[in-house]
Amino acid sequence: MYVALALVGTACLAPVLNRTGDPAAAARFLDLRSALFAIAFVFFAIWLAGVGLRARATRMLPRWLGWGAVVIAALQVVGTAFATIDPGFTGVPTFAGFLWVAIVSVLLARRADAKT
């Protein structure tokens, strides 16, 4: 859901960048883009929280990674709420979430290599 909503939100920039000629229409497309990204960030937070709680329950990942996902998810929700003031609030939690995904990917890939 995150990727789909982010792609649709990015597609909303095309009419704005192509100079639709109507500033009101461009503003509506930018508002739609902001709303789609906000919804995408909430879905990303829900996914992170679910994976983090599941990782803690199954102990497939270290506990700190499970807690880290839950904390990043909470920061993502708070950052998304404050994004109405300044869109920059979503930058740090989103980057932290992507970093978390990268760390888990490397950890799971190394674990798979060790088993073979």
Q: What is the pLDDT of residue 16?
A: 73
Q: Average pLDDT, stretch 82-86?
A: 79
Q: What is the pLDDT of residue 19?
A: 67
Q: What is the pTM of this model?
A: 0.80
Tell me how far apart the alpha carbons of residues 95 and 51 are, in angstroms, rounded to a whole number.
17
Query: Is it the case that residue 112 has pLDDT exceeding 80?
Result: no
CB 37 within 8 A of CB 6: yes
Closest CA to 34 of 89, 106, 93: 89
- CB 106: neighbour CB atoms within 10 A? 10
Query: Is it the case that residue 114 has pLDDT exceeding 70?
Result: yes
Chain centroid to CA 103: how far? 16
Tell me how far apart the alpha carbons of residues 82 and 14 are, in angstroms, rounded to a whole number.
26
Closest CA to 83 of 98, 72, 96, 94: 94
| Per-residue pLDDT tens over the stretch 67-81 | 999 999 999 999 888
Q: What's the mean per-residue pLDDT of the chain? A: 86
**Confidence band of 116 (pLDDT split at 50, 70, 90):** low
| Per-residue pLDDT tens over the stretch 5-44 | 888 888 877 777 776 567 777 788 888 888 888 889 999 9
CB 15 within 8 A of CB 26: yes
